[in-house]
Structure 1
Amino acid sequence: MEALLNEWLWQERYWLPPGMHWEDLKAKEGPGEGRYPLPRDLFYTLPVAFAFITFRYVFERVIAVPLGKRLGVKDRIRIRAAPVPKLETFYEQNSRQPSQSEVAFLGKQCGLSQAQVLTWFRHRRNQDRPTNTKKFCEATWRFVFYLLAFTAGLGSLLHTPWLWDCSACWDGFPRQHVSNVHSWYYILELGFYLSLLLCVSVDVKRKDFKEQVIHHIATIFLIGFSYCGNYVRVGTLVMLLHDSSDFLLESAKMFHYADWARTCDSLFLLFALVFLVTRLVVFPFRLIHTAMITFGDLFQPFLGYYIFNILLLVLQALHIFWAYLILRMVCKFAFKGKVEGDERSDEESEADEEEQLEDGRERRKGAIKPKLASLANNCVLNNLTNQRGLNSRLPKAR
């Protein structure tokens, strides 16, 4: 297996600039100089990912749920669908949103009207939507990781020259040793994003679900590829830059679900400022510039150079998409004075709002019908009374 990988995957022309050989790196490696990043180090990320999933399960139940209750997170009371076995079977095995013909067919089978079938499916979908507690737990878990990762990453990079001068990322490349701190920084970040990708089916699905999956995949490939190709210095800067705004977003979500409006709005505006500066200014004009322009001036481009920069450009495209959503929310805040919802809210939020309106209409109809009946009876009685009075006065008039 190792011979096959060496022959097809770890070829020097893929990973090293022209004229460089794997033997050159090994010859320069000394006992006191640290070590070079090895692709086999990334095998640790799989057990780390499962460890993150296990720890998250415990964290959400032991810490996040009690914290949410103390902050005042409340779940919306939802109408549960009545137990109808045939509809439940269709919901689980066929579709959550049946077509008009399927609604008519199910109505005949269950002895229900089409309106009753549609109402049952609407209530049933509402049962499966994530609660505020689930959203709060997810945001709290990500907030804790991003905050710790940003703090640890910043502490490990403060005394490095490439934090202040991006061109230092290529000093002596590719003969650059990696410290144990930065190696574990890579492994933990890669393990965390791998855990997010494994849990994507059970996490809250938002309108940008596809973009999130693309982001996780691109991030995993970028971290893994940069480690194998020894782009560790610029890779640590990319991870630090992303963590700098992510923990602010997750903290704003936490207070949004707890209904702390002012705190949420303040954190969101701070997040928007940090995001726009780091993702639309620093990332393209410093990191992408040094990876594409500075590196291209120093070395002759090769396959690894193109792959690395393509992954960076994919991330930048996602940054522009999310910046558009953020600016929309900032405009709403400017005109209305508060942040209304989340442009990335769960995918069925609009259906949830429609259900609330529909339930409100049903309750109003229920309250209006007795009033209309009473009003109609009063009108009939008045008409009858007036008619009797008119009949009694007619002979006298004659």
Structure 2
Amino acid sequence: MSYLVAVLCLEHIEQLLMTSHINPSSTAKLITPVCFINRVAFAIIHIYTYIYVKHQKNEFPLLISSGLCLLRVIAIPLSKVLGVKDRNRIRAPSIPKLEAFYKQHSQQPSQSEVVGLGKQCGLSQRKIQTWFRHRRNQDRPSNTKKFCEASWRFVFYLTSFIAGLGSLIDTPWFWDQSECWRGYPKQPVSEAHYWYYMLEMGFYLSLLLSVSVDVKRKDFKEQVVHHIATIFLIGFSYIANYVRVGTLVMLVHDSSDIILEVGKMLHYALWTTTCDFLFVLFALVFLVTRLYVFPSRIIHTTLIVSMEFFEPFFGYYFFNALLFVLQALHVYWAYLILRMVYRFAFVGKIEGDVRSDEESPVDDNDEEEDGGECSWEQRKDAINSRLASLANNCVLNNLTNQTNINSRVPKTR
């Protein structure tokens, strides 16, 4: 649904730009910061009316139903076939005061807060801590949910990459990046590239709109920065008619994400050997595309080659600044990937995954399966029995028993 709303927003912005008497393909140098902000603000003002007034009724049942079918009819059964298993988690009992504190204040109360909650609810501190642990585990996404999220992203990246490559393979700027600026700013935009832009922009807007409900990752903040920078990059490149180089940027980014999402899917299915192979393949593709192709081909042509065709203006500096933000994120993620490659090469397996396809480690120590959870009294009895067994078998006790035996042996004269 969020993806559909994003596409509707983009179509409305496109209509506003086409009727604003400012043709971005012919007057790119007139785009100043004030002009750019005014256009965006003018479009945002009308988005609410466009979505909630003109589109109250469900006018796109096929699009929505196809997305639901992908998740319910294909993704979920596929997860079962591949062997994805969900952990059985204990549901926290209904305690209104604890539930209100959990939702309104904190999911991990401090020791003083635990004491206060225990007095209010008439429960021990141990039971309060156990309730919050169960409640946190209850909100953790299941492996099936994470598999479905990775599967629909895989479908998008694969579709987008094939569509982008098919629309660019015959273009001159795909092979010679200097052609991105020949004839600029009067460069016509083909229908294929227009829909390629709509597809990518709608996807990244949907990621930003659904960031609060998606699975939290270790690089959550970096992902948000990446989505915002990408949205500004796609939107501004279309307004400034940087469409040719913009299509190359999107194609480069989609190439490695396909392998990443497949690796996530098989990771949740515990296909360890296949995941290791895909991780190595992903690392190679990511390092080549993000650390070589992106800076040497794309940033080089936007930063240096473009100045051979026109003088720098606001769009030149703004667009390159966004590209450098993306490149900084690429370097950060490459560092994490190289750490994993080092562990994989010298340890032999990947432990403590630091890539972006892992969850936030906030509650890693709190995760416990059903049947492995027991009450504090049961744990205490188990500990006491183990201590008793240890006391009966320890070396010190054996020495004591040996001394008692020797004391009972009659002494020889």
After alignment, is 97-106 or 238-247 more displaced?
97-106
Equivalent position of 1:85 in the other structure: 96
Aligned with residue 107 of structure 2, among 96, 103, 109: 96
Cα–Cα, structure 1 residues 55 and 216, in superposed 2: closer, same or farther, change >3 Å? farther
**Offset from partner CA, 1:247-275 (integer Å, 9 cap, x none):** 11000111000000011111111011000
Gaps of at least 5 residues in structure 2 are 1-12, 31-41
1:166 paired to 2:203 = no
Pair 1:243-2:254 in alignment = yes
Give runs of aligned pairs for residues 99-138 of structure 1, distance below 5 A: 99-138=110-149
How far apart are the structure 1 equivalents of 2:350 and 2:92?
32
Percent of counterpart pairs with the same letter? 63
Q: Could you tell me which residue of structure 2 aligns to residue 299 of structure 1?
A: 310
TM-score (norm 2): 0.78
2:364 to 333, 349, 352: 352
Q: Is the deviation greater in 307-316 or in 346-355?
A: 346-355
- TM-superposed CA distance for 1:335, in Å, is 1.7
**Residues 209/374 of structure 1: CA separation in 2 closer, same or farther (3 Å cut):** closer
Q: Secondary structure at the match of 2:304?
A: helix
| CA displacement 1:174-214 (0-9 Å, x = unmatched) | 11111111111111111111111111111001111111111
Aligned twin of 1:231: 242
Give the conservation status (yes or no) of the 8 Å contact 1:52–1:195.
Answer: no
| Structure 1 pair 341–254 and aligned structure 2 pair: CA distance change class (3 A) | farther
State the distance in 1 between where 2:21 and 2:91 align: 54
Contact kept? 1:65, 1:133, Cα under 8 Å:
yes
- Residue of 173, 198, 221 corresponding to 2:232: 221
Deviation sequence 1:12-42 (CA, Å, 0-9, x none): 8x96248xxxxxxxxxxxxxxxxxxxx99xx
Cα separation, partners in 2 of 1:143 and 1:378, compared to 1, 3 Å: closer
Structure 2 matches for 1:199-210, cutoff 5 A? Answer: 199-210=210-221
Which ranges of structure 1 fall in alignment gaps of 5 or more residues? 19-38
Distance 1:177 1:229 in 2: 12
Equivalent position of 1:197 in the other structure = 208
Offset, 1:146? 0.3
CA shift at 1:68, angstroms? 0.3
SS in 2 for 1:197: helix
**Aligned residue for 1:27?**
none
Q: Are the aligned partners of 1:96 and 1:125 in contact in 2 as well (CA < 8 Å)?
A: yes
What is the one-letter code of the residue matched to 2:166?
Answer: G
> Residue deviations 1:337-384, cap 9 Å, x none?
22235313555435223544996997875534334457779999xx99
Q: Give the Cα–Cα distance (whole angstroms) in 1 for the partners of residues 61 and 209 of structure 2.
A: 9
**SS in structure 1 at match of 2:365:** helix
Deviations 1:101-144 (A, max 9, x none): 21110011122222321222112111101111111111111011
* Amino acid across the alignment from 1:217: I
Once residues 130 and 214 of structure 1 are traced to their aligned partners in structure 2, the CA distance between those partners, rounded to angstroms, is: 23
Q: CA RMSD in A?
A: 4.0
Q: Does 1:16 align with 2:28?
A: yes
Q: Which has the larger radius of gyration?
A: 1
Residues 69-102 of structure 1: CA deviation (Å, up to 9, x unaligned): 0000011222332332221221122211112221
- Using structure 1 for the length normalisation, give the TM-score: 0.80
CA–CA distance in 1 between the matches of 2:214 and 2:60? 16
The equivalent residue for 1:68 is 79
1:124-169 residue CA offsets vs partner (Å, 9 max, x unmatched): 1111011111111111110111011111111111111111111111
Is the contact made by 1:49 and 1:194 (CA closer than 8 Å) also made in structure 2?
no
CA distance in 2, matches of 1:339, 1:52: 39
Counterpart amino acid of 1:221?
Answer: F
In the alignment, which of 309, 317, 327 is matched to residue 320 of structure 2? 309
Structure 2 SS opposite 1:236: helix
1: CA distance, partners of 2:64 / 2:233: 22
